[in-house]
Chains A and B, each alone.
Chain A
């Protein structure tokens, strides 16, 4: 049976992890490679690296990091952040990334999705969507949720699927950082109306939230950062709990 995936997300700046990280057993908690290995050993199903660097060197630094991760880590990983061209994607995949995630660049130039899918295949193109509810309507936002657009979430998500994306990573800006649970009603609607996998993001605070997003939110995967980084829960314990609740996981 296909299992539900648990995906830790690592924020990267200039080749280092940025959020405060509470892994006491690591020699260098800022080293994304060491952290990635630790998560893989704990039972993470995939990893997402979100690059937030803004230097001119960023492309080269990120490519280097991707190669180091690919050398060491034996589970799939996705790289996102600032990817805006076929060439960007080519470099990352060539260095060993399994998937790339695009966000603002897809909104600004939707044809980019088609170009990437034609060149690299649906399986490695994830479209990340950040959205926020404004006057009862879910509006897509850019630049890490700072800039609103006119795009309506469900319409945009369907267009993304039609253009060939393999997966959608949906972050609710209303839930992100609250630790009050995922946007399950919206996730369930995405999951029902679309026929590609949906990754839930934003709002994870405890294990019940994960149970709910798989059961009520019908998510195919759940992504979180701080609950894992600060060791508020161990991935293995979380997966055992999910299994106890009848949710298929890889243990």
Chain B
């Protein structure tokens, strides 16, 4: 299986590469359209600020490539957010794969949310053998509200989308690569979709 992690200069991609290595898979880091298009699975990571990450993506032209991919694609954290219609962070237009806007948590809660929260209302094979209320690790200040594409819910200030899916596109707000055994199971599931 050819597994490619999109390398556009936004995020801790080593951790994701290592997580797949622990599962026995060698992921390739790439910013080349052809290599990404020919992969069996594509990981779209992202950490940092949304508008600068989106600018990097546009500079490489990958914002036009990713929405047209046909194989399973997994966006992680900011990656998931950039797959949405827009995000309040830096008033950024995303790739519009998921039909939802990303907004900021209010000051009623500590921002960023950092730590282990639970996932519920699991609706996809991405969560095969993952139990309702299992814990995953998150670090984020912005969230996608619940919508028709929601496949997992977490609760912080209010219930929100912890994962989204549309056709071959998957997005998780949490970090499966840092979510212990539960996260490893989710990454394995993604490879087995």
Interface set of A (CB-CB < 8 Å, partner B): 1-5, 40, 45, 67, 70-72, 74-76, 93-96, 98, 118, 120-124, 166-167, 195-197, 220-221, 250
User: Does B113 reach chain A (CB closer than 8 Å)?
Assistant: yes
Measured CA separation A2–B109 after assembly (Å): 11
Query: What are 15 inter-chain pairs, A to B, with CB distance below 8 A?
Result: A1-B155, A2-B116, A71-B21, A72-B22, A74-B19, A74-B180, A74-B181, A74-B183, A74-B184, A75-B137, A96-B15, A124-B139, A195-B107, A197-B115, A220-B114
Residues of A within 8 A of B178 (CB): 74-76, 98
| Nearest 7 Cβ contacts at the A-B interface | A121-B48, A96-B14, A250-B135, A123-B139, A250-B116, A76-B178, A3-B116
Contact across chains for A74 and B110 when beta carbons are under 8 A apart: no
Of chain B, the residue at the smallest CB distance from A198 is B110
The SS class assigned to the B binding surface is mixed
Contact with A along B6-26 (1 / 0, CB 8 A): 000000101100110110000
Contact with A along B146-170 (1 / 0, CB 8 A): 0000000001100000000000000
Contact with A along B98-140 (1 / 0, CB 8 A): 0000000001001111111110000000000000000101011
Residues of A within 8 A of B48 (CB): 120-121
Among B111, B117, B139, B155, chain A packs the most CB atoms within 10 A around the CB of B139
Measured CA separation A4–B110 after assembly (Å): 13
Residues of B within 8 A of A197 (CB): 110, 112, 114-115
User: Does B49 reach chain A (CB closer than 8 Å)?
Assistant: yes
Contact across chains for B47 and A220 when beta carbons are under 8 A apart: no
Residues of B within 8 A of A121 (CB): 47-49
Instruction: Knowing A70-B18, A94-B14, say if A166 contacts B114 (CB, 8 Å).
Output: yes
In the assembled complex, the CB of B7 is this many whole angstroms from the nearest CB of chain A, namely: 12
In the assembled complex, the CB of B86 is this many whole angstroms from the nearest CB of chain A, namely: 19
Contact across chains for A76 and B137 when beta carbons are under 8 A apart: yes
The SS class assigned to the A binding surface is loop
Contact across chains for B135 and A123 when beta carbons are under 8 A apart: no
Measured CA separation A55–B113 after assembly (Å): 36
Measured CA separation A98–B112 after assembly (Å): 15
User: Does B179 reach chain A (CB closer than 8 Å)?
Assistant: yes
Residues of A within 8 A of B137 (CB): 75-76
Instruction: Knowing A74-B181, A98-B178, A197-B110, say if A123 contacts B140 (CB, 8 Å).
Output: yes
Contact across chains for A166 and B179 when beta carbons are under 8 A apart: no
In the assembled complex, the CB of A206 is this many whole angstroms from the nearest CB of chain B, namely: 23
Measured CA separation A76–B77 after assembly (Å): 14
In the assembled complex, the CB of B78 is this many whole angstroms from the nearest CB of chain A, namely: 8
Instruction: Knowing A1-B117, A2-B113, say if A122 contacts B141 (CB, 8 Å).
Output: yes
In the assembled complex, the CB of A94 is this many whole angstroms from the nearest CB of chain B, namely: 7
Contact across chains for A3 and B117 when beta carbons are under 8 A apart: yes
Measured CA separation A250–B118 after assembly (Å): 9
Instruction: Knowing A1-B117, A71-B18, A96-B18, say if A196 contacts B180 (CB, 8 Å).
Output: no
Contact across chains for B111 and A196 when beta carbons are under 8 A apart: yes
Residues of B within 8 A of A196 (CB): 110-112
* New contact pairs (9) apart from A71-B22, A75-B137, CB-CB < 8 Å: A1-B118, A70-B15, A74-B177, A98-B12, A98-B178, A123-B112, A124-B12, A197-B110, A197-B112
Contact across chains for A5 and B110 when beta carbons are under 8 A apart: no
Of chain A, the residue at the smallest CB distance from B52 is A118
Among B135, B141, B181, B184, chain A packs the most CB atoms within 10 A around the CB of B135
Of chain A, the residue at the smallest CB distance from B134 is A250
Contact across chains for A3 and B110 when beta carbons are under 8 A apart: no
Instruction: Knowing A74-B181, A74-B183, say if A95 contacts B14 (CB, 8 Å).
Output: yes
